[in-house]
Amino acid sequence: MSDFPWLLAMIAVPAIGAAVVAALPRERALLAKQVALGVSLVVLLLAVLTTLAFDAGGPRFQLTTSVPWIPDFGSDFALGVDGIALVMVLLVGVLVPLVVAASWHEADGGHRPVRVFFAWLLLLEAMMVGVFVATDVLVFYVFFEAMLVPMYFLIGSFGGPRRQYAAVKFFVYSLVGGLVMLASVIGLYVVSAAVLGEGTFAFDTLTRLDIDPDVQRLLFLGFFIAFAIKAPLVPFHTWLPDSGAEAPVGGAVLLVGVLDKVGTFGFLRYCLPLFPDASRFYAPFVLVLAVVGILYAALLAMGQSDMKRLVSYTSISHFGFIALGIFAFTTEAGTGAVLYMVNHGLATGLLFLVVGMLIARGGSRRIADYGGVAAKAPLLAGAFLVAGLASLALPGTNSFVSEFLVLIGSFPERPVFTVLATLGIILAALYVLLMYQRTMHGPARGVLLQEDPAEPLPAGGGGATATATRTAPHRSLRVADLGRRELAVVAPLVALILVLGFYPQPLIDLIEPAVVATLDDMGASGGTD
Amino acid sequence: MIEAPDISWGALSPLLLVFGAACAGILVEAFVPRSVRHPVQVGLALVGTLGALAATVLLAGAREVTAVGALAVDGAALFLQATIAGLGALSLLLFAERSLDPARSAFVVSAAVPAGSPRDRELATVPRVQTEVYPLATFAIGGMMLFVAANDLLVMFVALEVLSLPLYLISGMARRRRLLSQEAAVKYFLLGAFASAFFLYGLALVYGAAGSVRLSEVREAVGTDGGGVLLVLGLALLVVGLLFKASVAPFHTWTPDVYQGAPTAVTAFMAACTKVAAFGAILRLLYVAFGTAEWTWRPLVYAAAIVSMVVGAVLGLTQTDLKRMLAYSSVAHAGFLLTGVIGLGAAGTGSGLAATMFYLLAYGITTLGAFAVLTLVRDGDGEASHLSQWAGLGARSPITAAVMTLFLLALAGIPLTAGFTGKFAVFRAAIEQGAWPLAVVALLASAVAAFFYLRVVVLMYFSEPVADGPTVGVPGVPTTLVLAVTAAATLALGVVPGAVLDLAGRAAIFVG
């Protein structure tokens, strides 16, 4: 079973699926959706089977395949997974089919062909898998950069009113980061050529390289800036609220749930083992950024009137926790950070999806246009509550475990930063509960009062501004509860959030050895300064 | 009695084929009836260029200096000759396109008629076809191929003129927007003549210092008398002449005007082939003749690279015409290429030569393809090259927009396209030689340049179509072939570049 190229298949299947969907005739929109759903379910199956084929107690990188790619650059198309990459691939496998189902009507009615949306989605899936399973730095870089293209088109073609601005901002920010990283990638190659006589991009070889600390500090910065833009850490974060708000809901889920995790994944996989001295040197600086991000983004989240922007800001706050866990250099904190990456993908994914469902009903992204929705749509409100509570890391939800691990893991090493970060939990409760309370409870407001399309909007409140953002087709919609398709999207995520809240051990068993190996690579296992 | 020099005819076969085809083309012009002249000329030019391409492949591995040391047939010369012949053949196919323009050809029959005169307006619609462009372009291709093999400054100068003169002429032959085209031709000629004069003056000074125009003998003179004022001054003037042809800032001022005014097929030809030829000559001059005096040219090239990248990227942002935008893109790419030139190590080591050659091939293919797409999008007044006219093209003509997007992403250097592989190669070469500040500038310039390529993508896909927008012509066989080849090569050189990189690496040899 382990001879089967699982990882290659998980890249090839969605890539071929994307080509098939793109080649379908324009009028077969339904078929395009069905193929996309089928392909993404096959990838989920492959991801599950890969997990079964993976031996948690075995060597670090498993299921490896390698074919020479560009011999002149010393680069092989080398794939392999450790526990960290594996859980990220699982997250991709779980989220994409749900996103496909949630986006069933996303591209309908627009003048852009429906199949294009789903083709980009599948291509994005192929690249997201590729970026996690690459064990060759150049292959990683290629996926890292190429991943921008599908996301750029998803935002730009299918996004909200300011999609052009958001798409270009997203692309330019990411590209600048990517190019700075390219300088470091080439620099790493040149250093390896100087040490070994022949340049290489093989991750395993590079981690054993003894690089001069001064050179490390320069190279580290290239990687770090790219990942900090991707993750994003304050002050590199300003693109995310725009992209998150303007992207179609499915795109936003993958953007925040997976794409941004490549940044934190990169910290752990590349920054720490490749540049251990530099990582220690810059750690206090990174931790400052992380803690500032936790608090600052949480405060900004509270001030948002746009639900999608609010959720985007909460993510920036959460990325601060992940960065804290990674740069604390302890096994517990590192394991917690990786678990946080998965849990955040599930919780924020659900939050984005539910917010998207609410927006699809009301046609407005403004919190002020909603109120008392729970009375009309109890299931929607329930899912919203679960997502929100998971986001604020209530015990019993999955995020509690990871946040707790990060905090207890970081405390012995970095007590001050940890204590400050803890304040973020209080703020999280505020921004989540305020949004929930305003939209779901209280007297019916905004959209709910507007049952007859002929009637003018009620004066006061968000009514006046609501007209601007509300699009015509939704005007007459009553707020209905979740339909069957929507329930099928929400239920698995709610289940995963609760199950992982009570029984996270299987994931921790996968993650922990890989974190230990990573910290071993940097000679900091158990946590030294 | 003068003894005939010893000439290795086999090694010269690529050149002989192209020049033979060009001379035969002139005879065709005189003797073949008008009705069949066009197919005969196109066929002849293609036979010449493709024959030359085949000949360079057969010659692969040859390393010799022939014709009394005037020509070097080595790996680098053959690789660049093959690149020029291949890109030249593709350009000729673009010249031969007859289904796009309602008057069946993109070239005016009589270029000397004053623009705007009644006769000129009449000529815009006559169905007669201009066939002189084919021998002219073939001569230019021959000159370029000679340029990259010239082992002697005098031969280099002759080649420079042979490639330039036909280009001046065919720049002025656009059927539409005659005034712009004539302006382009005159501007190109005047500035080009200046550049030639610089080159010639430099040649004279170097001859004065070294006592020879042979590159190998110049090298010896440089070795013994490295710091001579005459040599350094001569080198500077020679390089200025060549940088002009390569449209490197600050010698680029002709580029936007000429690229805009010339017929688009000719612009494609110039952007792709002239760049290869000019850089071929720069590489040979700097590496062979002045390889031991790096300290003299390195600062010059370093500065020109930075200026070119910054000027190209920043001014490219302000352009509203696609042809002008691609012209500034060409200036920026010239800067990236110079980054590769810097990547030559002290003793001829380093991957700079191979990287620059690969970049030339990748850039030539991509830019040729981008200009080929430009010929498709038309309105009543010829090609619609204003940016605003491209709004919403993705909705109206998805395939054209998709192909253009591929080329733009490649020019921006996004991974999995030829542009990325090329950038990676030249930046690696520069960083290996410790020129990492230059590489960092280059990366920042890439980011700026990416913005203007992206703007076109945004317009094509994310903007609503304009009401009376241009139509997208259905290309005939030649243009379709060009688009298919360039698009496939752009992807292939990005996804599986191993074989070509390896070839460039093995071809990276200068004799002399």
pLDDT digits (tens, 9 = 90+) for B188-201: 999 999 999 999 99
**pLDDT tens digits, one per residue of A460-505:** 333 333 444 444 444 444 678 888 999 999 999 999 999 999 999 9
CA distance B106 to B265: 8
Nearest of B259, B256, B254 to residue B270 by alpha carbon: B259
Please report, for residues A385, B85, B202, the alpha-carbon distance to residue B334 in angstroms, rounded to integers and kept in the order given: 57, 20, 22
Q: How far apart are CA A361 and CA A485, in angstroms?
A: 15
Is the preceding peptide bond at B250 cis, omega within 30 degrees of 0?
Answer: yes
Asked whether the beta carbons of B195 and B251 are under 8 A apart, the reply is yes
Q: Is any Cβ of chain B less than 8 angstroms from the Cβ of A68? A: yes
In this structure, is residue A168 part of a structural domain? Answer: no
Give the pLDDT mean for A60-70. Answer: 90
- Whether residue A270 contacts residue A184, with contact meaning beta carbons closer than 8 Å, is answered with no
Interface test with A, best of B359, B443, B501 (most A CBs within 10 A): B443
Total length of chain B: 512
Among the partner residues B420, B463, B498, nearest to A72 by beta-carbon distance:
B498
Residue B104 has pLDDT above 90, yes or no: no
- In angstroms, the CA A64 to CA A66 distance is 7
Query: Of all helices (H) and strands (E), which one includes residue B472?
Result: strand B471-472
Q: Is the pLDDT of residue B114 over 80?
A: yes
C-beta of residue A37 within 8 angstroms of C-beta of residue A488: no
CA angle B85, B87, B90 (to 5 degrees): 110
Distance CA A439, CA A444 (A): 9
* Residue partners of A234: CB distance under 8 A and separation at least 6: A289, A292, A293, A296, A297, A316, A320
pLDDT of residue B466: 78
Strands A75-81 and A62-70: antiparallel
Q: Please answer yes or no on whether A146 and B415 come within 8 Å at the CB atom.
A: yes
Tens-digit pLDDT profile for residues B458-504: 999 888 887 777 888 889 999 999 999 999 999 999 999 999 999 99
Give the pLDDT mean for A192-210. 88
Structure tokens, A456: 């003018």
Of A365-374, B116-125, B308-317, the least confident: B116-125
Predicted local confidence at residue A324, as pLDDT:
95
HSE at residue A174, side-chain half, CA atoms within 13 A, is: 27
Specify whether the CB–CB gap between B470 and B386 falls below 8 A.
no
Whole-number Å distance between alpha carbons of A350 and A494: 8
Interface check for B446 against chain A (CB to CB < 8 A): the answer is yes
- Tokens 């302000």 locate to B318
The pLDDT tens digits for A99-114 are 999 998 887 877 788 8
User: Which residue in A has a C-alpha nearest to residue B415's C-alpha?
Assistant: A142
CB A439 within 8 A of CB A358: yes
In whole numbers, what is the pLDDT of chain B averaged over residues? 91
Model confidence band, residue B396 (pLDDT cutoffs 50, 70, 90): confident
Across the range A315-332, mean pLDDT stands at: 94
Q: How far apart are CA A378 and CA A372, in angstroms?
A: 10
Task: Flag whether residue B499 sits within 8 Å of chain A, measured between CB atoms.
Answer: no
Using alpha carbons, list the distances in angstroms from residue B445 to A454, A511, B430, B451, B494: 55, 40, 15, 10, 21
Q: Does A72 touch chain B (CB under 8 A)?
A: yes
- Six token digits for residue B243: 């940088």
A183–B431 CB contact, under 8 Å: yes
Inform me whether the C-beta atom of residue B90 falls under 8 Å from chain A C-beta atoms: no
Contact A156 B461 (CB under 8 A): yes
What is the end-to-end Cα distance of chain A in Å, rounded?
42
- Domain membership of residue A522 (yes or no) is yes
Q: Count interface pairs A-B at CB distance under 8 A.
A: 88
Residue of A227, A238, A262 lying closest to A170 (CA atoms): A238
Give contacts of A195 with chain B, Cβ < 8 Å.
none
CB pair distance less than 8 Å for A142 and B420: yes
The answer to whether residue B420 neighbours chain A at the CB level (below 8 Å) is yes
Q: Which of B416, B436, B443 sits opposite A142 (nearest CB)?
A: B416
Whether residue A197 lies within 8 A of chain B, CB to CB, comes out as: no
Longest dimension (CA), chain B: 76
B101 pLDDT higher than 90: no
Task: Tell whether the model's pLDDT for residue B156 goes beyond 90.
Answer: yes
Set of chain A residues whose Cβ sits within 8 Å of the Cβ of B424: 73, 182, 186
Within a domain: residue A483? yes
Q: Are strands B64-66 and B377-379 parallel, antiparallel or unpaired?
A: unpaired
Residue B373 is encoded by which pair of tokens? Answer: 């797409």
Q: What is the pLDDT of residues A135-150, one digit of tens each?
A: 999 999 999 999 999 9
Task: Flag whether pLDDT at A267 surpasses 90.
Answer: yes
Residue A456 forms part of a structural domain: no
Q: Is A189 on the interface with B (CB under 8 A)?
A: yes
CA distances from A5 to A1, A63, A78, B180 (A): 9, 7, 12, 59
The least confident of A90-94, A293-297, B176-180 is: B176-180
Of the candidate ranges A63-72, A160-169, A356-365, B117-126, the one whose mean pLDDT is the lowest: B117-126
Question: Which secondary-structure segment (H or E) carries A81?
Answer: strand A75-81
**DSSP-assigned letters across all residues of A434-455:** HHHHHHHSSS--GGGG--STTS
**B64 inside 8 A of chain A by CB:** no
pLDDT value, residue A467: 40
Which positions in chain B touch A164 (Cβ < 8 Å)?
458, 462-463
pLDDT band at A450 (very low <50, low <70, confident <90, very high): low
**DSSP string across B95-144:** HT--SSSTTS-SB-S-TTSPTTSHHHHHHHH------THHHHHHHHHHHH
- B462 touching A, CB under 8 A? yes
Q: SS3 of A471, please?
A: coil
Domain with A340, as residue range(s), is 275-451+472-529
Is the CB of residue B295 less than 8 Å away from at least one CB of chain A? no
ipTM over 0.95: no
pLDDT-derived band at A31 (thresholds 50, 70, 90) equals: very high
Q: Output the average pLDDT for chain A.
A: 88
Q: Measured between CA atoms, how close is A159 to chain B, in angstroms?
A: 10
User: Which residues, numbered 101 to 140 in chain A, qualify as contacts with chain B under a Cβ-Cβ cut-off of 8 Å?
Assistant: 111-112
pLDDT score of A448 more than 90? no
Residue A309 predicted with pLDDT over 70: yes
| In-domain check, residue A364 | yes
Does residue A26 belong to the interface with chain B, where contact is any CB pair within 8 Å? Answer: no
CB distance A187–B436 less than 8 Å?
yes
Task: Check whether A446 has a pLDDT greater than 80.
Answer: no
Instruction: Give B-chain residues touching A167 at CB under 8 angstroms.
Output: 458, 462
Q: Residue A68 is inside which H or E element, if any?
A: strand A62-70
Place A2 in a pLDDT band, splitting at 50, 70 and 90: low
What is the structure's pLDDT at A101? Answer: 94
Q: Taking CB atoms and an 8 Å cutoff, what residues of chain A touch B450?
A: 171-172, 175
The pTM assigned to this predicted structure is 0.92
Q: Stretch B312-320: mean pLDDT, rounded?
A: 94
Q: Which residue has the tokens 């700075």?
A: A180
Give the per-residue pLDDT at B294.
63
| pLDDT at position B331 | 96
Looking at this protein, which amino acid is placed at residue A499? Answer: V
B414 to chain A, any CB pair closer than 8 A? The answer is yes
Structure tokens at A344: 């955040």
Q: What is the pLDDT of residues B407-457, one digit of tens each?
A: 999 999 999 999 999 999 999 999 988 888 999 999 999 999 999 999 999
> How confident is the model over B23-58, as pLDDT tens digits?
999 999 999 998 899 999 999 999 999 999 999 999
> Which uninterrupted H or E stretch holds B284?
helix B275-284
Residue of A71, A148, A189 lying closest to B498 (CB–CB): A71
Q: Is the model's pLDDT at B85 over the cut of 60?
A: yes
DSSP state of B274: I
Q: Is residue A264 part of a domain?
A: no
Grouping H, G, I as helix, E, B as strand and the rest as coil, residue B206 is helix
Distance from CA of A172 to the nearest CA of B (A): 7
Residue A509 lies inside a defined structural domain of this protein: yes
| Mutation site for A-interface testing, chosen from B426, B451, B458 by largest number of A Cβ within 10 Å | B458
Residue A515 resides in a domain: yes
Place of tokens 């010929």: B375
Total domains present in chain A: 1
B446 vs A contacts (CB less than 8 Å): 179
Instruction: Check if the beta carbon of residue B124 is closer than 8 Å to that of residue B382.
Output: no
Burial readout B49-85 (b: 16 or more C-beta within 10 A, e: otherwise): bbbbbebbeebeebeebbbebbbbbbbbbbbbbbbbb
Q: Are A168 and B454 within 8 A, CB to CB?
A: yes
pLDDT at B348: 61
Contact B454/A156, CB-based, under 8 Å?
no
Among residues A144, A159, A124, A164, which one has the least CA distance to residue B455?
A: A164
Question: Rounded to whole angstroms, how far apart are CA atoms B136 and B141?
Answer: 9
pLDDT band at B346 (very low <50, low <70, confident <90, very high): low
Residues of B in contact with A175 (CB under 8 A): 412, 447, 450
How close does chain A come to B131, measured CA to CA in Å?
41
Q: What is the pLDDT of residue B347?
A: 59
End-to-end alpha-carbon separation of chain B, Å? 28
* A200 contacts on B by Cβ (under 8 Å): none
Model pLDDT, residue A528: 39
Q: With cut-offs at 50, 70 and 90, classify the pLDDT of residue B371.
A: very high
